[in-house]
Amino acid sequence: MAAIGFIGLGNMGGPMAANLVKAGHKVVAFDLVEGLRNQAKSDGATVAESATAAVEGAEVVITMLPAGKHVLAVWSDVVPAMTKGALIIDCSTIDVQSAKQAHALAAKHGIGSVDAPVSGGTGGAKAATLTFMCGGDEISFAAAKPVLEKMGKKIVHCGGAGAGQAAKICNNMILAVSMIAVGEAFTLAEKLGLSHQALFDVASTSSGQCWALTSYCPVPGPVPASPANNDYKPGFASALMVKDLTLAQDAAHASGAATPLGRHAQEIYRAFDAAGHGGVDFSGIINHIRSLAGK
């Protein structure tokens, strides 16, 4: 079992590191927050006092951090301290450009690298059912896969450096646009006197069918496990959706792609976030849509 250094023990990284311990890996963990280091210790990891100490002698290093600047700062510190031939995997959601820079940094030091952002949220992190979207060369991906399988159920090799991040932001742009569309459809149905269940029964088996409707329905009732039944507690917070839509817009500008609905979805989620709802599950956007009536 590979010795693993794990840096970033937040909502996602904490349970992911715990699953690696459960699978039998020796995990040395670090976070800036003392309480999170203590939690990792009680989950069975060894706690390091710095990021560089966490990677000493590790065969695989994993980072799970907020944004590109954090990843580049941590990788600049730890990559030179890693054993030659070891592997570093970043599971954070970051911009494609920073991901490519991080890969180049690793290559310069003879370290294999994979960008492997995830889908599945905190529930998936706890249950080890995440989907990993991976970018990197074949050899690095092959080395990363058995480790990622301890934290997820689907591991997809999307292409070279940065391809995992590209897949993540494209997927989440689809998700945001489709959630808004589903929210608009239920809002219109309410005005037309059509029940939630009737719309669900028709659309979930018709051409309007999509994940935002069938697995994550934004009204209480039809899908009992969706956050709509739990006062829109996340789940996947709207602030994180704003982050991913902004990464998608930045990538669209940089690459010259036209994404008019992606841009509009970013504006809608930004307004929801600015109104103080950043901590609400992203399916709560239906309440924002209702509030626009007559405006």
Supply the residues annotated as catalytic.
168
Count residues contacting ligand NAD (CB under 6 A)?
A: 27
Contact between 116 and ligand NAD (CB under 6 A)?
A: no
Of positions 20, 21, 28, 51, contacts ligand NAD by CB under 6 A? 51
Of positions 3, 4, 7, 21, contacts ligand NAD by CB under 6 A? 7
Of positions 20, 31, 102, 112, contacts ligand NAD by CB under 6 A? 31
Nearer to ligand NAD, 174 or 194 (CB): 174
Torsion from C-alpha of 74, 75, 77, 83, nearest 10 degrees: 130
Shortest Cβ distance from residue 238 to ligand NAD (Å)?
A: 11
Phi and psi angles of residue 136, each rounded to the nearest 5 degrees, phi first: 150, 175
Contact between 74 and ligand NAD (CB under 6 A)?
A: yes
Contact between 118 and ligand NAD (CB under 6 A)?
A: yes
- Mark the segment that binds ligand NAD (CB under 6 A) among 32-40, 196-204, 249-257, 258-266: 32-40
Dist CA 205 CA 207 (whole Å): 7
Q: Which of 25, 28, 30 is nearest to 10 (CA)?
A: 30
Dist CA 294 CA 158 (whole Å): 44
The 3-class SS string of 230-286 reads: HCCCCCCEHHHHHHHHHHHHHHHHHHCCCCHHHHHHHHHHHHHHHHHHCCCEHHHHH
Dist CA 257 CA 148 (whole Å): 31
Shortest Cβ distance from residue 71 to ligand NAD (Å)?
A: 8
Shortest Cβ distance from residue 196 to ligand NAD (Å)?
A: 26
Nearer to ligand NAD, 59 or 95 (CB): 95
Contact between 13 and ligand NAD (CB under 6 A)?
A: yes
**Contact yes or no for 248/262 (Cβ under 8 A):** yes
SS3 label, residue 155: strand
8-to-71, 112, 148 alpha-carbon distances in Å: 10, 20, 16
Q: Which residues pair with 88 in a beta bridge?
A: 61, 113
The strand pair at 130-135 and 118-119 is best described as antiparallel
Binding positions for ligand NAD, 201-260, rule CB under 6 A:
236, 240, 243
Contact between 134 and ligand NAD (CB under 6 A)?
A: no
Residue number closest to ligand NAD, CB atom? 10
Of positions 3, 5, 6, 9, contacts ligand NAD by CB under 6 A? 9
Contact between 112 and ligand NAD (CB under 6 A)?
A: no
Of positions 12, 105, 169, 177, contacts ligand NAD by CB under 6 A? 12
Contact between 75 and ligand NAD (CB under 6 A)?
A: no
Where along the sequence are the contacts to ligand NAD (CB under 6 A)? Answer: 7-13, 30-33, 36, 51, 64-66, 70, 73-74, 92-93, 118, 121-122, 236, 240, 243
